[in-house]
Structure formats: structure tokens, C-alpha cells
Amino acid sequence: MSDWAPKTAQAKEWFEGLRDQICAAFESIERDNGSDAAFEYTPWQREEEGNEDPGGGVQGLMKGKVFEKVGVNVSTVRGNFPKEFAANINGADPENPGFTATGISLVAHMHNPHVPAVHMNCRFLTTGKAWFGGGADLNPPIPYEEDTEEFHASMRAACMAHNPTYYDRYKKWADEYFYIPHREVHRGVGGIFCDHLECDDDAAWERNYAFIQDIGKQFLDVYPKIVRKRMATEFTPEDEAEMFEYRGRYAEFNLVYDRGTIFGLKTGGNIDAILMSLPPRATWS
């Protein structure tokens, strides 16, 4: 394996900067609604037997008047995959299961059913290979076509700056990935999702890194605009009930199918940070 440590450190620093910008934007929305809610940051350390430097992360969590619950986590971990899990990871060798991973993960659940929930994740991993992955997707309990188009236009812009085939390819991947087979429904209105953007050399790393950065930048630009547009919309108890039922579907996907949840649990991550994606309130009929 090449020495990707400097690149991992560079990506980690950028993910932390993106977190700070996103959290500031979300806190600004709360201030505009008369709330003093702020993110609380909780550091955590990973443990792995025989590993003197397993890494860890920081969980950021805010509960406010607009954001019922929003988590923005950054982690950087290193160690060895369990042998039975290594076979499922790109480039991992069960006989040499070492890895490093750094990334940002965000999930927001809103008080107002007319404001869409959202998910965003960007990451860089090294095993026997090195690659980026991630994306962003919109999850409205009550969809608005205008919001869907605005969000997808932003993700399309991130893609088109790098490769004209990316948007169609990664939109399709998101549509297929964020699907709940046992319910036969999609988790939301989609976005983009990509994985295994392999970095065979420094030039490939720079290209993929720039693309992942643009996903984060576009998300930071578009999502606060959608929140501000919808956050004062009047809603009924029936609207809220619809949101709670939708959240149940969201929770089912994240607990059964989500790659990030499985990865965190299999690699000894912080349980609270891993499950921060779960909604604060949900119903099942």
C-alpha cells in the first residue's frame, strides 16, 4: 500500500472545515428564528486491541426550533477490519485487512414537515487501494417538485464540473441504493451517490478529491436555501403524522441497509455517532 497518510490528513482537514461551515450556516438559521440552539461537540476515541493509534472523531449535535435533530460528524479511524468483513470492502485483503478512513457524515431531521430531511456523506478510505465516495440526497416527508429540482440541479452542477457522465450515473446509483426493498419505496427524492472512486496516483487523487469537495460545497449552498424557503410554512397535525410515518421508513433503511451504519458497527465506531441518523420521533402503523 502506498503511503496515503498525508492525503488522509489533507482530506480530514477539509472535512473538518466543511463541518464548521455547515454548522455555522445551520446555527444562523436558528438565530433567525429566535433560537439560541448551538451544536454540542463530543469527541470520542476508537478502541482496538493491539492498536496504539486507532483514531476517533467528533460528534456534533444540535436540537433547535427549526432543526429538531441534526448531526454533523467527522471521524478519522485506522486499524484492521474483522476478517469476515474485509471481504466486503473494496481493496481489502482478509489476510492483510489494514485500513484508514476519514469522512464527514450529516443527517438533519426538521420540526416542520414541509422542510425536507437531508443526508450528506463524503469519505476517503485506504485499504490495498485508495478511494473516495459519498453524495447527498433529499428526504422530504412532503415533497415539493421545486425543491427536488433545485437540489438535483445543485448536485448536477457538482458533477458537470468534472465529468459529463457523472450526474446520470450517480443519480441512478442513488435511486437504486436509497431504496427500501421490503417496503418497495424509495427513501426520498434522491440525489447522487458514488463509491470506489479509485486513486491510482496523485493525479487521480486530486481529481476525485476536487469532485468530492464540490459535492460538499454544493450541499452547503443549496440546502440552507431550501430550509429557509419552507421553515415558516404552516402545517397540520395530519402533516406531522405523515412526517412521523415517513421517518419510520427512514429509520428502517438506515438500520437494515445503510453502508455507513454497517461500516461503523463493524469497525468499532462510536455508537451514538453511528446512530445519530435515527430520527428523534417516528411512528409505525
What positions carry a catalytic annotation? 119
Distance between CA atoms of residues 124 and 54, nearest Å: 16
Among residues 109, 81, 97, 67, which one has the least CA distance to residue 248?
109
Q: Is 75 helix (H, G, I), strand (E, B) or coil?
A: strand
Distances (CA, A) of 254 to 54, 135, 196, 229: 25, 15, 20, 27
- Given a contact cutoff of 8 angstroms between Cβ atoms, the answer to whether 128 and 1 are in contact is yes
Among residues 216, 169, 217, which one has the least CA distance to residue 194?
169
- Given a contact cutoff of 8 angstroms between Cβ atoms, the answer to whether 172 and 179 are in contact is no
Q: What is the DSSP string of 156-184?
A: HHHHHTT-TTHHHHHHHHHHHHSEETTTT
